[in-house]
Amino acid sequence: MSTRIRVLIAKPGLDGHDRGAKVLARALRDAGMEVIYTGIRRTPEEIVEAAIQEDVDLIGLSILSGAHKKLCQKILNLLKEKGADIPVFLGGIIPEEDIPELKEMGIIEIFTPGASLKEIVEKVEDIAMERKV
């Protein structure tokens, strides 16, 4: 690809545990992507605004708080309202029974504990390349 993949990594809600998000941000950077990390405790509005301003290819959310359905739906709704066609992937403590509903609402990929950094990086690259073709 001639342009670098741009990914926004965000921690929505009140969850303050950011080690996984930082490790992922570094792995994506090491794979040649440009990563914008918003930090912890961001509102859906802040995340969507940053994604649009930074012209990212994907948004990655890290949620460990249990509020994943509500936060993801709010972010997806805001993206739609703003006319921003930016795919969103999710990582964190996500119960298996919630995955079908999250995918149905529009989350493009979900990574649960045990997913390797290699797997995540490859999937992010695949999603971005499909969209840039």
Residue positions counted in the chain: 133
Query: What pLDDT does residue 1 have?
Result: 44
Q: In the chain, what are the domain boundaries? A: 4-130
Q: Which CATH class is domain 4-130?
A: alpha beta
Per the CB < 8 A criterion, the answer to whether 48 and 84 are in contact is yes
Residues 6+ apart with CB under 8 A from 19: none
Taking residue 128's Cβ as centre, other Cβ atoms within 10 Å add up to 21
pLDDT digits (tens, 9 = 90+) for 123-132: 999 999 998 7
Question: Residue 31 and residue 25: Cα distance in Å, rounded?
Answer: 10
pLDDT digits (tens, 9 = 90+) for 39-96: 999 999 999 999 999 999 999 999 988 899 999 999 999 999 999 999 999 999 999 9
| Structure token pair of residue 81 | 């309202």
Q: What is the DSSP letter of 42?
A: B
Question: Residue 101 and residue 6: Cα distance in Å, rounded?
Answer: 27
CA-based Rg of the chain, rounded to a whole angstrom? Answer: 13
